Amino acid sequence: MPSSSTTTTTTIKLHGFAKRAPDTPSGSFFCQKLETHLRLASFPRANYTLVDALPFRQPKGKLPCVTLSRPGAADVFLEDSHFILRALAADGVIPDVDAPLGLSAAQRADARAWQAWTEELVYAAVVCTRWLRPANYARSAAALPVPAPVRPFLAWFLHRRISTRLRASGVGMHSDAELDAILEEWVDGLDARLADGRQWFHGGDTPSSADVMLGSLLMNCAGEEANPEFNAMWMRRERVRAYAERCTRQWFPEYEGVLQLLRKTTSLFEPSDSFKFMCVPPGVLLKAAAQLKAPRRMTKPNSLSKHVQAAAGAFAGLRARSIVLSFHDTESRLQARDY
């Protein structure tokens, strides 16, 4: 039986995964998107609270969910970021943030297509890289914001649940190379979208719900250490990096760590489209260096092996979490990423 609210103002409880700290993005893109949308809609910060929750007990088995309390009305429980935002706008709790842009039906459909691409395919591919790649799985597990004794059990449970769902949906059946291709296509697409110098998804001076969605994915991933491959892909694209920085400054200037990382990245990555990136933990690089006695196993034995050998020596004592190998037609480069 829904309880009748005694509130004198409209308030929202945003049920989401616990955050590691208030000034870091949510570990869940969908939770991040919902809060970012509230900020774009200028819903007063004092009128919404983040409530730590787990997805298992929710009717759809997912987060975020919302409890909406309005003066004199029964509390309403809403699920699924997309339908939550539709309901909040339909009830007049927040405005239709896209209305001032006067978008045509085709422009709205275009944004919806980007949303489906990003939410249903690209984010699923990112989650595959976080949970199905052993080195990243270790990072995902270590970062779970629960007491240490509980962490391995929750990590095991989440891994089992997430991998089963990802495989059942088909995305989790792709190879690493195929997942990387899905991610590269999206980065290429966003880079191309921004190529005419536009600041926001639809152009003009005003951000829209599409910017909330895209910016939230970039903020969420920038705040995660378990998706280094994807981060290396988009952070080296100057336009995409600058867009992520713009979104962060616009809605979450308190995410200082993310802003710092985005600034640092500029000096580490060159905005060149002809580079292919691969992130490897230093241990893997050292193993690769040890295998140099069999250089025929490498695609470009001469240039690559020379650089791997040099980097193995140079980075041996470094505490970098991953090292970026970049391959170019004429040269190979290695850079340590100081996370």
Ligand X SMILES: N[C@@H](CCC(=O)N[C@@H](CS)C(=O)NCC(=O)O)C(=O)O
Examine residue 227 and tell whether it contacts ligand X (CB under 6 A): no
Tokens representing 17?
């995964």
Residue of the chain from 20, 108, 161, 239 that contacts ligand X (CB under 6 A): 161
Stretch that binds ligand X, among 27-35, 148-156, 187-195, 283-291 (CB under 6 A): 27-35
Q: Taking the chain, what is the end-to-end CA distance rounded to the nearest angstrom? A: 48
3-state secondary structure of 53: coil
CB of 261 to ligand X, least distance (A): 21
Residue 285, CB-side half-sphere exposure with 13 Å CA sphere:
28
Residue of the chain from 12, 63, 122, 334 that contacts ligand X (CB under 6 A): 63
Residue of the chain from 13, 20, 39, 82 that contacts ligand X (CB under 6 A): 82
Identity of the amino acid at 15: H
Which strands, in side-by-side order, build the sheet including 332-337? 276-280, 322-327, 332-337
Stretch that binds ligand X, among 80-88, 177-185, 192-200, 295-303 (CB under 6 A): 80-88
Rounded CA separation 195/164 (Å): 38
Residue 289, CB-side half-sphere exposure with 13 Å CA sphere:
20
Stretch that binds ligand X, among 56-64, 94-102, 268-276, 304-312 (CB under 6 A): 56-64
Residue of the chain from 12, 38, 67, 80 that contacts ligand X (CB under 6 A): 80
Residue of the chain from 41, 51, 55, 281 that contacts ligand X (CB under 6 A): 55
Tokens representing 176?
């690493």
| CB environment 268-307: b (16+ within 10 A), e (fewer) | ebeeeeebebebbbbeebbebbeebeeeeeeeeeebbbeb
Residue of the chain from 30, 200, 234, 275 that contacts ligand X (CB under 6 A): 30
Contact 62, 29 (CB under 8 A): no
Identity of the amino acid at 230: F
Stretch that binds ligand X, among 54-62, 185-193, 266-274, 296-304 (CB under 6 A): 54-62
Examine residue 230 and tell whether it contacts ligand X (CB under 6 A): no
Stretch that binds ligand X, among 74-82, 173-181, 231-239, 255-263 (CB under 6 A): 74-82
Rounded CA separation 42/159 (Å): 36
Residue with Cβ nearer ligand X (28 or 36): 28
Rounded CA separation 217/215 (Å): 5
CB of 191 to ligand X, least distance (A): 24
CB of 3 to ligand X, least distance (A): 24
Q: Which residues would be at the binding site for ligand X (CB under 6 A)? A: 28-30, 55, 61-64, 80-82, 161, 165
